[in-house]
Amino acid sequence: MKTSSRALAFLIYCCSFVVGGVLMGFEMLGSRYLFPYFGGGIGTWASLISTVLCALAIGYFAGSAMVARYPSPRTIATAILIAAAYLALVPGTADGVMSQIMDSIGDGPSATLIASTALLLVPLTLLGTFSPIAVSLLTRSAEEAGRIAGLVYGVSTIGNVVGTLLTTFVLIPTIGSRAITYIFALTLALCAGVLFLPAARRRS
């Protein structure tokens, strides 16, 4: 029992790192999807960053609301899996959606915000629910709460840093942004799979 819960804790920290990496990696990729339509200026970056932060805020709130009712690895695994599915749809649909937005709303701040919302809000909100649920799964007593929360956010922030740098300096210069998106989707799906495993094993 003790080893299995320790193994689960390790998995959750690993996923926290990976989810953090994909989250920021996808934000950097977002610029490659948006620039051809809305220009490459600071306005587009502002839209991307604010959308990501909004998604995280919503994700944190949603996570804290869900955690009392569904406190299991399956909850976060499901959220990650849906995010993965969303990402997998992006390469095929992004151009259609972007030109639709440009044709109907133009290219001003509101159009750029709507475009970055369409691209980022759903998957990143889902990924945002990860941390609060992870903290509650890892915490066994009240005095541990602060330490665990610090660890989870620390690990996921290191993931953010790695995701940002890896995407910008390694992935974008070597493979296309659509291929990177598929890799991110696959990575998330693997994370979800790994988190489903202990739940399945416990039931059997």
Considering the complex, what minimum distance in angstroms separates the CB of residue 107 from another protein? Answer: 5
Contact between residue 128 and residue 66 where contact means Cβ atoms under 8 Å apart: no
Smallest distance, another protein to C-beta of residue 44, A: 10
Residue 42 binds another protein (CB under 8 A): yes
* Nearest-angstrom CA–CA distance, 133 and 14: 14
- For residue 43, state whether it binds another protein (rule: CB under 8 A): yes
Q: Check binding of 75 to another protein (CB under 8 A).
A: no
How far apart CA 102 and CA 114 sit, in angstroms, is 10
Q: Which is nearer to another protein, 92 or 193 (CB)?
A: 92
How many residues are present in the chain? 204
Task: Give CA–CA dist 40/42, Å, rounded.
Answer: 7
Residue 133 beta carbon to another protein: minimum distance, rounded to whole angstroms: 35
| Closer residue to another protein (CB): 32 or 74 | 32
Is residue 193 near another protein by the rule CB under 8 A? no
Q: Which of 47, 36, 43, 59 is nearest to 132 (CA)?
A: 59
Only segment of 4-12, 117-125, 133-141, 165-173 that touches another protein (CB under 8 A): 165-173
Please say whether the dihedral angle defined by the alpha carbons of residues 175, 180, 186 and 192, taken in this order, is positive or negative. positive
Query: Smallest distance from the beta carbon of 32 to another protein, in angstroms?
Result: 8
Choices 6-14, 28-36, 74-82, 147-155; region in contact with another protein by CB under 8 A: 28-36
- Decide: 51 and 113 in contact? Cβ < 8 Å: yes
Query: Considering the rule CB under 8 A, would residue 146 count as an interface residue with another protein?
Result: no
Question: Residue 35 Cβ, how far from another protein at the closest point, in Å?
Answer: 5
Binding of residue 174 to another protein (CB under 8 A): yes
64-92: b (≥16 Cβ within 10 Å) or e: eebbeeeeebbbbbbbbbbbbebbbebbe
- Kindly state whether residue 116 participates in binding another protein, applying the rule CB under 8 A: no
What are the residues binding another protein (CB under 8 A)?
Answer: 32, 35-43, 102, 107, 169, 172-179
